[in-house]
């Protein structure tokens, strides 16, 4: 499955690849997963179309995973500006990622 960049048509531009990449970077978001996890492998395919640098958080050793992460795969947004950390557990489709990130400031 490949995703194409938004060409500027339509009313909703909040789910373009560039906007997703911007929001992930702005919030220092990281995806955590494990190489032995089947859902994580599926998540890798979705994430590779957004930003391959996100895949560096797929780990063999879980000792470096933040304590808020309770399972894999998980999207982790660290605490910032007085806000608590956010964790979105489980496999997420392109549409689910877009929807969640569109809710962030």
- The CATH code of the domain that includes 32 is 3.40.30.10
Which residues constitute the domain of residue 92?
17-102
Q: What is the pLDDT of residue 15?
A: 61
- Bigger pLDDT: 48 or 41? 41
- Return d(Cα 64, Cα 45) in angstroms, integer: 23
pTM: predicted TM-score of the whole model, two decimal places? 0.72
Q: Is residue 27 one of the residues assigned to a domain?
A: yes
Biggest CA-to-CA distance, the chain = 45
- Return d(Cα 38, Cα 82) in angstroms, integer: 35
Number of domains in the chain: 1
Section 9-34 average pLDDT: 73
**Segment 84-99, tens digit of pLDDT:** 899 999 999 888 888 8
Q: Is residue 10 one of the residues assigned to a domain?
A: no
Q: Is residue 1 one of the residues assigned to a domain?
A: no
Q: Is residue 12 one of the residues assigned to a domain?
A: no
């Amino acid at each position: 499955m490949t995703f194409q960049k938004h060409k500027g048509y339509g009313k909703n531009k909040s789910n373009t690849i560039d906007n997703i990449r911007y929001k992930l970077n702005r919030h220092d978001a990281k995806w955590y997963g494990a190489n032995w996890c089947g859902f994580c492998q599926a998540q890798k395919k979705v994430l590779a179309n957004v930003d391959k640098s996100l895949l560096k958080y797929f780990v063999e050793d879980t000792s470096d995973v933040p304590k808020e992460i309770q399972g894999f795969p998980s999207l982790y947004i660290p605490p910032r500006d007085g806000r608590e950390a956010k964790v979105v557990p489980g496999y997420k489709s392109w549409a689910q990622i877009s929807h969640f990130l569109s809710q962030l400031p």
